[in-house]
Structure 1
Amino acid sequence: MLGYACMNLTLREHEPPLRCNRGMQKKTWESRGLDYASELAVQNFADLYDILRWNVDHDIYFYRCTSELVPWNSQFELTELPDYDEIARIAADCGRLIRDNDVRFTFHPSHWCKLASESADTVANSIRDLEIHGSWLDLLGLPRTPYYSINVHIGAHYNDKEATAARFREAVDRLSPAARKRLTVENDDKEGLWSVPELTEAVAEPLEVPVVFDYHHHQFTSRGLTYREGFELAAQTWNDVRPIAHYSEPAQLYGQDARPQAHAEYVSSVPDWLLDGADVMLEAKSKERALLQYRDGTEPAVGTS
């Protein structure tokens, strides 16, 4: 099945807009604090339910949620929120909708989540971030399995890949089951960073953490493997859980002046073998519109932006 990430552009244009990423700047957090964070969290969970309902109504059963679901959650426990009971009630409704319709629901924390950092503070903050995502999935009532994944990158090598991998493994071992059992790791988009075979050897085999295959990234870290070979190697790390793969096309393909890593607005040709072997997250800038256009069989115009 196909999925999309975070923002639903169609619902974002509604009045009022529906979105689940309401946040606030540090200055606002310091002035308005827990009460406002709680208010925003209620709105985010309520809109998440409507987004999930829209997805199901449009036969979309794979969705990556924003990591801004509960603003400033690193500064408090969920149960401290004044509206916690209301948030928990809406979250239970969301979880029931997810389970009843077999929706695959995932997270992808930001690039600031660096479990292999040389900084102890950065590692501690990263662990905290993953624990927060795990607590949200628990609040939704979803099983602790990579079917409902929390996906990360190693994202750096710190001039010593072996030591970096060791730090990553040590950090993973510090995670609680809520985060640890849902963790996945993805190949990177720079030649010197982490490829599928490197992640398989350094992470998947010793830790049983599945590898998410990013099709677009593989061109930068192929290590001599074809796209299909890279995917099949990653797929073997998922054991009894259906793999996740990411698919996007370069913006340059549509005539845009952009970095090779930049994603296009739409996609035109997801390989059949990828669709057969994995649930595919489309990382296209046009979000659900790209998914619907691809599924309807219409081709994006060259130069579309």
Structure 2
Amino acid sequence: MTIVRLGYVAMSMEVKNASPSKTMTYAQFQKIEDRDAALRKLERIAFTNLENTLRLLKHNAASEIHFYRFSSRLIPLANHEALLDWDYLKPLKGILQSIGDFVNDHEMRIDFHPDHFVLINSPNEDILKNSIKTLKLHYLLLKKMGIAPTHRCVMHVGGNYKETENSLERFLENWMHVPSVIQKMIMLENDDTSFTLEDTLYLCEKLGIPLVFDYHHHLAHNHHENWADHWDRVVQTWKYSPLPIKMHISSPKSEKVFRHHSDFVDITMFFNFLKEIKGSIPHIDCMIEAKMKDQALFNLMEEVKKRDDIEIIDGSTFLLK
């Protein structure tokens, strides 16, 4: 038997006016003549994002959802080269601690997924430095929240640069430039265009990084169609993690645009995966990547409840019998 726990990404379709990703462009920042006033406005936007994050966490607790991905855009312009003197953490200390306390009190699993411009395997030194800087931001936010950073950031391998093998080896080389505390924060996932499950496993096994299996990505891009042949290897990458194995589930928007995420999750597709892994692990956390966010989770749970091969545990969790 295997416990399956569902989560969703960043935004809620039910909680209104609760975006955790409000922003300000640098062009907008520059239009404010008083720089201190502009910084205070940035801080108010960041505070609103964090306040909305706490609202969403309370919504999750009320809905028995224990797994959630933070927005990676909580602090706009935090790493902009013109704002490196801005101590954005100091004025946000209280709300960050409140978020961390709520997460820890409710034993929620949270993580981040930094944007696509975080490229550890970039051949460009400036891009590598900026990628590490962005990862450090995520690390510092977790530390200020009082949340253990280990295996909280999932990311893609990076750019393929039309040379898969060299790009994988460059990841290994550049990894040595990543501070060890940030290395411990990272999980890697297979993607839908550049690096397959096998490619990503190569890095995860070499470096001791957990692999987050994205089922939809695998169906869109693979060299070996039967992913289950590698499932034991995926499980082994998690053997030293304090967290349960994690995967991503989404459904194609259509056959024509197969890589695009649908509004909801196709339950047949999801259970095709679950049937293969049932009993191989005691627990798995499944992050729903669907356009309808928490509504996709609620809809999926309603469909799950109709099945006779599961036992419902709570609003987002069930047991595969």
1:283 and 2:289 are equivalent in the alignment = yes
In structure 2, what is the equivalent of residue 80 of structure 1?
87
Q: Retained in 2: the 8 A contact 1:196–1:233?
A: no
Distance of 2:85 and 2:302 partners within structure 1: 41
Distance of 2:150 and 2:209 partners within structure 1: 11
**CA deviation vs aligned residue, 1:135-169 (integer Å, no higher than 9, x gap):** 111111111311xx211112332233332122212
1:196 and 2:190 are equivalent in the alignment = no
Root mean square deviation of aligned Cα: 2.1
**CA deviation vs aligned residue, 1:152-190 (integer Å, no higher than 9, x gap):** 112332233332122212332222344211101110102
Distance of 2:288 and 2:65 partners within structure 1: 12
CA pair 120-86 structure 1, distance change in 2 beyond 3 A: closer
Distance of 1:151 and 1:159 partners within structure 2: 23
| Paired amino acid for 1:3 | G
In structure 2, what is the equivalent of residue 303 of structure 1?
none
**CA deviation vs aligned residue, 1:245-286 (integer Å, no higher than 9, x gap):** 000111116xxxx51101111113122345865200011110
CA pair 86-122 structure 1, distance change in 2 beyond 3 A: closer
Distance of 1:111 and 1:80 partners within structure 2: 25
Q: Retained in 2: the 8 A contact 1:185–1:209?
A: yes
In structure 2, what is the equivalent of residue 260 of structure 1?
258
Deviates more, 1:84-93 or 1:125-134: 84-93
Q: Retained in 1: the 8 A contact 2:6–2:285?
A: yes
TM-score in terms of structure 1 length:
0.86
| Paired amino acid for 1:292 | F
Q: Retained in 2: the 8 A contact 1:150–1:179?
A: no
1:180 and 2:183 are equivalent in the alignment = yes
**In the TM superposition, what are the counterparts of 1:119-130 in structure 2 within 5 Å?**
119-130=124-135
Q: Retained in 1: the 8 A contact 2:25–2:77?
A: no
1:113 and 2:118 are equivalent in the alignment = yes
Structure 2: tracts of 5 or more residues without a match: 33-37, 306-321
> What SS does the aligned partner of 1:252 have?
coil
CA pair 284-18 structure 1, distance change in 2 beyond 3 A: same
Runs of 4 or more above 4 Å deviation:
76-79, 273-277
Q: Retained in 1: the 8 A contact 2:219–2:225?
A: no
How far 1:69 sits from its partner (Å)? 0.4
> What SS does the aligned partner of 2:237 have?
helix
**In the TM superposition, what are the counterparts of 1:1-80 in structure 2 within 5 Å?**
1-11=5-15, 14=16, 17-32=17-32, 33-75=38-80, 76=83, 80=87
TM-score in terms of structure 2 length:
0.82
Distance of 2:234 and 2:165 partners within structure 1: 20
In structure 2, what is the equivalent of residue 302 of structure 1?
none
CA pair 77-101 structure 1, distance change in 2 beyond 3 A: farther
Name the structure where helix makes up a greater proportion of residues.
1
Distance of 2:27 and 2:158 partners within structure 1: 30
Question: What's the % identity of the aligned pairs?
Answer: 26
Deviates more, 1:215-224 or 1:49-58: 215-224
**CA deviation vs aligned residue, 1:213-264 (integer Å, no higher than 9, x gap):** 00001113332242433444322211143111000111116xxxx5110111
Distance of 1:155 and 1:59 partners within structure 2: 34
Of 170, 173, 185, the match for 2:173: 170
CA pair 74-90 structure 1, distance change in 2 beyond 3 A: same
CA pair 248-30 structure 1, distance change in 2 beyond 3 A: same
| Paired amino acid for 2:290 | A
Distance of 2:42 and 2:180 partners within structure 1: 26
Name the structure where strand makes up a greater proportion of residues.
2
In structure 2, what is the equivalent of residue 212 of structure 1?
212
Aligned residues: 284
Q: Retained in 1: the 8 A contact 2:160–2:167?
A: yes
How far 1:66 sits from its partner (Å)? 0.9
How far 1:108 sits from its partner (Å)? 0.7
Distance of 2:221 and 2:236 partners within structure 1: 18
